[in-house]
Each structure stands twice: as C-alpha cells, then as structure tokens.
Structure 1
Amino acid sequence: MGRQALAQSVNRRVFYGWIMVFVAGFSIFASGPGQSHTFSAFNALIAADLGITNTELAFAYSLATVGAASLLPLFGRQVERFGSRRSLMGVSLALGLACLFFGAAANFLWLVAGFGLLRFFGQGSMMLGAANLVAQWFSLKRGFAMGLMALGFAASMAIHPTLARVLIEAFGWREAWIGLGVMTWVMMLPLLFLLVEDKPEDLGLRPDNTQEPEAAGGHVPALGGATLAEALHHPSFYIVATGLFMISGLVTTLHFHQYNILASQGLEAKWATLGFWFTAISMVLAMPLVGRGFDRFRTRYMFAAALCVQATTLTAVTFVTSVPTLLAYSLAFGLNNAFSMTLFGYIFPRYFGRLNLGRIQGTGQMVAVVGASVGPVPVSYALDFWGDPVMTLRLLSLLPLAAALIAVVFLRTAPQVKGYEHLE
C-alpha cells in the first residue's frame, strides 16, 4: 500500500490532520538537541572543558543563533518549494550530524559553529517545518491543534535534560551528543517517510476536514492570504514579530540559565532538573486550555496575555529559594511555555494566511530566533560580574508588559486574510 493510499484509508476512520499533529509533535520533541533546556545540562561542563566563562559561552550561543536565524527565511522558501515532508527529512538527517559535530567541539570557534548548526536545524528549521505542517491542515481548530503539537516540547523539556544528565554521567558530555544524534535519526526518518502528507488538498481534503467553507459558518478561509511583501508593509507583522522576539528571548533565557539562576539562589542541580519536570507537567495541563483560548477569544487579547505571563515568570524565578517556591515558579513557567509554543505556530497563519506561509513564517521566526540569541546575554553578564541575576530579571520583565499594551491597542488582521472576523 502506497503512502497516499494508507493516508486515505486512515482518513476514513479519523481525519488525517490529527496524524500530522502527532508527527509534528514528535518533530518538536526531536528538536530537543537544539533547544536551550538541553544545553542547560551541558553548559557548566562545556565551559570548564574549554576554559571559558559563562559570558563567553553565552556569546558563542548568541553569535551562533543569530547566524542560524538569518537562514530561516531561506528554509521557509524551501518548505514552500519542497513541502514539509521532504524538508523535515533533510532537517532530521542534518540535526543528527550536527549533534555529532557539536560533541567533538575542541575550541571556541568550533563551539560557535556547533551551536549554530544545532540551533538552525533543531530550534529553527525542525520547529518551523512542524508548525507549517499543522497550519496547512487546520484553520478553525488551529489553536487546539498547535496546542497538541506543542506537547512535544513539554515532553522534550521533561526528558532531554534528564536524558542528557544520564548520558553525561554514564559516558561523558561529548559521547552524550553522539547518543542524541543517533536517537534523532531513529525517531524521525521512518516516521516522516511513511506518514507525512504536506497539505490536505494533496488528498482531496480541506483544512479541519470541512467540505465547503459555508459548512463551518463561513469562517474557514480558502488557501490564500498576504504575500511576504504585503505582510512586511502591514504594522501587525512588526507587532507580532516584536512580541515573539521578546517571548523567544526571555523564555530562552530561563531555559538556558535555569541551572545557573537556581544555583545562585542556593538550589542544587537536581532541583533544577526537577523544575523542568514540574514545568513540563504544568505545560501539558495548560496546553488544551491555551489552544482552545486561541480558537475562541480575540487573538490580540490572547497575545497580550502571553506577554503578561512572560513578565510574571521572569519575576517569579527571582523568588525561588526552596522546593515550594520552585514548584510555584515551574507552574508559571509551564503556562508561559504553553503560550509561547502555541503562538509559534498559530500567529502568522492567523494574521497573514496560508498562501505564502513558509516565507512569512520563516521571516518572522528569524526575528524570534534573534531574540533567543540575545536573551541569555544580560543574565550571563549579571552572573559573571555580580553573581546575582535578580535585578536584571526583574528589569527584563518590564519589556513584555509594554509589548502587551501595544498588541491590545494596535494588532489587527491583514486585509488580504478573511474568515477570522470572530477573532478580531
């Protein structure tokens, strides 16, 4: 039975888009080697092995992430040209090789290159391809579908730091990266080859499995939307991109420095690892509610809520000095991650449509990844020179509050996109 015949057979029982959500969620999980929560388990060992400071490590990470971000618009065009299936297969192969390369890092420049490859193929391309896949298959239920997809990130946040620590203790930090690379190939390549279909139209279907736009009350838009040039001339692109820049940068800061921040406040590494588990559980519980919220409520209010939760989380981490306060912070951070991961895939098709989604999302994701690149630097500086990041984190929390106010007042849908009036 061919791949499309298998997909048609499955679709007679359950909408095949939900299979794409499963694969996309697994892809988000497999992006773990390129995510900050995985690096967090390695940072102290890498710095000690290569003889560099926290600031130098963060600079390497930032420099590499900026380079990776600059390539994401190009990857977005490749997704439009080749489809999510072939693009994600190439990314999975490359991400495994990047893990092997990173594990062999012998100096600062090699470290920068390794960070760049992991960030581009993991945190950037793998996540962009997965989000694009789900966005093509869902419209009315896109928020809920993105929320389910993002459970893969919660699983990664719970499993990858723990797995990294186990591999490090058993084999060493360099050998641990070999294991992570091989696991990426084993998990992703067969799944992508056998199951993925790029768009519902390839199987004669429509997003959400609707028959006609009128069947859903007129809310399901046809394949259409703004071009990249039109998106770049609309104020909402810059409001969304600025908000994602802040969310991406500040979430990355907390992931990247969780071990260091909590250590500066008197908690051992094992509690930082446990904190990731608490955060993952909170994220899993919050995801369905956040996803449903995006499908039901005005998007600009949900976007502003995400930014306010980000500000709350940055403040909450500065009060963590015990297990109860760690639990409270982790619950807030889980909600923070639920919002940020849903926004990542939801916001650009919502405001600019599906027509040129790869290019628009690639450009927007480039801005977000630049945010991720610079986010950890202020806290790294505070840790190295003051040994205390509390005031820095509290000052950073003011930025998303300002962005939330701007979003509520000015964020609107591009005129080329129809069918979302109930969310405007």
Structure 2
Amino acid sequence: MMTTRTPSLSELTGRQASWIAGGLVMTLATMPGQTNFIAQFNAVLRAEFGLSSGLFGGLYTLATLTSATGLIFAGALADRIAPRKLALAIMAGLAATALLMSQVQNLPLLVVALALLRFFGQGMLMHVALTAMARWFDRFRGRALSFAMFGITLGDSILPFMLTVSITAFGWRTVWIGTACTLALALMPLVFLLLRRSPEGGAVPAGGPAPAATGLEWRRARVLRDPLFWAILPGIMAMPGIGTLFIFHQANLVEAKGWDLTTFTAFFPVLAVTVAASSLAAGVLVDRLGAWRLMPVLLLPLSAACLVVAALTPVWSIPLIFLGFGLTQGVMNPVMGAVWVELYGSAHIGAVRSLATAALVAASAIGPGLAGWLLDAGIPLERQAVCYAAFCLACTAIYALLQPRLRRRTVASATG
C-alpha cells in the first residue's frame, strides 16, 4: 500500500496554528445548535408545552429539515465570503437565536427558534469551520480537521452535565440567556482575533478558491449527477441520524433501562475523550493513507454501540455506548472532512460540502422524528437499535465494495 510522509506538527507555522485554533473555537460555538446541547432541554420543553416524545421529535424533525434546506442554498457562501466575516455573522445570528429561545411562549415560535439554532449552529457554522480547514490545508488537512473538531469534544465533555445542573438551579430560560452572552462576549472576539490572516499569510481573500485549487470542473451540479456521491451519502448519514436519536431521546432510554439521567450525562466525557483520541489518530492516518481508505471502518463501532443498547442494561453499559459513538464520530470527522476534497478537489469545496452537510443535518432530523414516532407506536429504543446496527453493517459492506472506484477517482482528482 502506497503511503506518503506525514509532516511533523512542528512544521506548522504560527498562522496555521492560529487558523486551526479559530476552527476549534468555531466548532465549540456550534454547540447551542447541536443535539447534545438541545437534548438537555427535552424534558423541560415537553413539560412546558405539553408534548409527547413523538410530537416533540416531529417538531424537531421539521425544524431541522427546514435548516437543512436553507443550508443547501446558503452553504455556497463559504466559497465567496471570507471565513472570519462569515463566521462572525453566523455567530451573531446564533446568539440572537439563543435569546429568542429564552422567550418562546408558543409552539410556532419554538419551531422557528429550533430551526434557526440548527441552521446557524449545527449547519452553517460547522460548515464554515470545516470548509476552511479542508480548503486551506493540504499536508496537514486530516490533523487540522481533527484539532478543529476538538471544540465539539470540549463541549460534549462539559456541557451536558453542566446544563443538567444549571437548568435545575436557574431555569431553562436563564440558561439560554447565558448561552447568548457567552457567544457574543467570549467566542466571537476569539474568532475575530484568530482568523485575522490566512494560513498562507496576508489578509484572507473574500472567498474564492485557495492557492493551487483543484477540481475546477466539479461544480455542485456535476456532483449531484455523480453516482459515487449518492453511494457514499447513506453511510455518512448514519452517525448523525442514529447517534442523534439516542441522545435526543435519552430521557426515554434511561427510563427504559432504569438509569438515572444525571448518571447518564455524567458519562458524556467518555464520548468526548473517545472522539478526541480517535479523531487525532484518524487525522494522522488521513494525512498518511488518504481518507477514502478509512471509510470501511467508519460505522463498525456505531453498529456495536447499537447492539449494546439492544442487549445490555447494567449501568456499566453506558460508557460502552458512548465509546462506540465516540469511535465512529471521531474517525468520521477528519475522514469525511477530507474525502470530499480528495474526490472533488478544493475549488468548489464549500458548495460540495454544503450538499453533504445538508444531508447530515437532514439525517439528524429524521432520526429523532422516526424514533419518536416508533416510541409512540410502542416500539422501544432497544428493539429499534437492532435495525440501526443492521443498517450500519450494510453501509460498511458498500464502502468496502467501493474501494477500487474511490481509489481511481482520488487519483484522477489529484492529477486533473
């Protein structure tokens, strides 16, 4: 198997390190739009508005699908607007939405607020952060994506438990006000400072491809006609769809298992540490081997976690579930962040990634909605988990069969 030299991190310049740090802050700032964050308000919101699990899951699906639709059209802005300018505008919108969330009094406004949280947070801000890493780094691309995603790792490790305690102590509306203040007064100034210059030096251009852009012919319309894109898509939707539904319906899961919710959220650091470690390891492998070669292993840990949900009830099974989720999520972050550049080049990576990101957001909408509907129909999460595991294994087989085509396309993209 052909490999390439993996450059040492000591070769990173100060500008490159600052850029990666900016990516980390941006991914941390996406947390108010992430399901791990919003799920901590599940019980209080259902109580506040008198919602069943299925109805709240359906509203969440509607809000998230709306945000995914907007992302398809807005995602190409990452090819035309400088990352710092676009990121700050998105973060301002996310902070304003957090304030709106603290004031919702009816279901229509709740859906609007959830849609905006998902659009600005999980959708656009994450898209801008990872597009910037994928576009502006070459030899360090895998590790730049891995380090940037440590913002999510940091958020996942401390926020679920902190939110559970804070909601009890101060009320859920006050927590959203605090979230808006943190975004506006702490995270936005950091992004402003860290993204002043591009990794190549000089001012960041107002959009357009990075130096030595590749894949000029791979515009979004052509990607949509590519059978390989559609063959890859179902598998990458598994983690956001399946992982999200278990986190979103964690109150139902812990009740069915006889666990305490505080105990469950206390194990979130297992997820965070696993994501961090596996993401860093995968980033090195992406830089050395190429992202496409790692795709057949992506979903194996997730399928194992689903089987744990289906079969085990002791409290010690909670960290096993988070371990499986974390391994898949950690490997997927740098692999799927880099594979689109490997297959389609960097010239239009913002537009190309927006298609994939919209699919991921849509999956995170479908998962909770489908699971909630099945819960209302009397099908517990344990029984659902068996089907989710089978889906992951089927996608794994597809990725293994696609390896020759992925290799040919990557070679063609690099030379074309």
The TM-score, its normalising length taken from structure 2, stands at 0.89
Q: Deviations over 1:347-382 (max 9, x none)?
A: 322221110011111122111111111011232233
- Taking the TM superposition and a 5 Å limit, the aligned residue runs for 1:110-129 are 110-129=109-128
- Contact 1:58–1:380, Cα closer than 8 Å, also in 2: yes
Displacement, 1:343? 3.6
C-alpha spacing 1:262/1:12, structure 2 compared with 1 (3 Å): closer
Displacement, 1:160? 1.8
Displacement, 1:37? 0.7
Partners of 1:294 and 1:120 in 2: CA distance: 29
C-alpha spacing 1:26/1:344, structure 2 compared with 1 (3 Å): farther
Displacement, 1:41? 1.1
- Contact 2:63–2:112, Cα closer than 8 Å, also in 1: yes
Displacement, 1:241? 2.3
- Taking the TM superposition and a 5 Å limit, the aligned residue runs for 1:38-117 are 38-117=37-116
Q: Secondary structure of the equivalent of 1:418?
A: helix
Partners of 2:32 and 2:139 in 1: CA distance: 32
- Contact 1:133–1:199, Cα closer than 8 Å, also in 2: no
Displacement, 1:167? 2.3
Partners of 1:269 and 1:348 in 2: CA distance: 38
Partners of 1:308 and 1:125 in 2: CA distance: 28
Q: Secondary structure of the equivalent of 1:179?
A: helix
Q: Deviations over 1:237-295 (max 9, x none)?
A: 21232222222211212322233212211100111111212211222222211212222
Amino acid in structure 1 at the alignment position of 2:157: A
Per the alignment, residue 377 of structure 1 pairs with: 369
Displacement, 1:336? 2.0
Per the alignment, residue 7 of structure 2 pairs with: none
- Taking the TM superposition and a 5 Å limit, the aligned residue runs for 1:23-422 are 23-197=22-196, 199-201=198-200, 203=202, 222-225=212-215, 226-297=218-289, 299-386=291-378, 388-410=380-402, 411-412=405-406, 413=409, 417-418=413-414
Partners of 2:332 and 2:295 in 1: CA distance: 9
Amino acid in structure 2 at the alignment position of 1:114: A
Partners of 1:15 and 1:198 in 2: CA distance: 10
C-alpha spacing 1:393/1:71, structure 2 compared with 1 (3 Å): same
- Contact 1:313–1:336, Cα closer than 8 Å, also in 2: no
The TM-score, its normalising length taken from structure 1, stands at 0.87
- Contact 1:244–1:368, Cα closer than 8 Å, also in 2: yes
- Contact 2:248–2:368, Cα closer than 8 Å, also in 1: yes
Partners of 2:219 and 2:22 in 1: CA distance: 28
Displacement, 1:53? 0.5
Q: Which moves more between the two structures, 158-167 or 190-199?
A: 190-199
Displacement, 1:197? 4.7
Amino acid in structure 2 at the alignment position of 1:325: S
Partners of 2:11 and 2:411 in 1: CA distance: 36
Amino acid in structure 2 at the alignment position of 1:338: G
C-alpha spacing 1:177/1:320, structure 2 compared with 1 (3 Å): farther
Partners of 2:248 and 2:331 in 1: CA distance: 18
Partners of 1:103 and 1:120 in 2: CA distance: 17
- Contact 1:85–1:198, Cα closer than 8 Å, also in 2: no
Contiguous gaps of at least 5 residues in structure 1? 1-10, 206-219
C-alpha spacing 1:319/1:365, structure 2 compared with 1 (3 Å): same
Q: RMSD value over aligned CA atoms? A: 2.4
C-alpha spacing 1:128/1:255, structure 2 compared with 1 (3 Å): same
Displacement, 1:405? 1.7
- Contact 1:84–1:129, Cα closer than 8 Å, also in 2: yes
Partners of 2:256 and 2:189 in 1: CA distance: 43
Partners of 2:211 and 2:136 in 1: CA distance: 12
- Contact 2:214–2:345, Cα closer than 8 Å, also in 1: yes
Amino acid in structure 2 at the alignment position of 1:260: N
Displacement, 1:341? 2.6
Q: Deviations over 1:9-53 (max 9, x none)?
A: xx9983422221111111111111111111121101100110010
Partners of 2:286 and 2:250 in 1: CA distance: 29
Q: Secondary structure of the equivalent of 2:346?
A: coil
Amino acid in structure 2 at the alignment position of 1:34: G
Displacement, 1:54? 0.6
Q: Which moves more between the two structures, 222-231 or 122-131?
A: 222-231
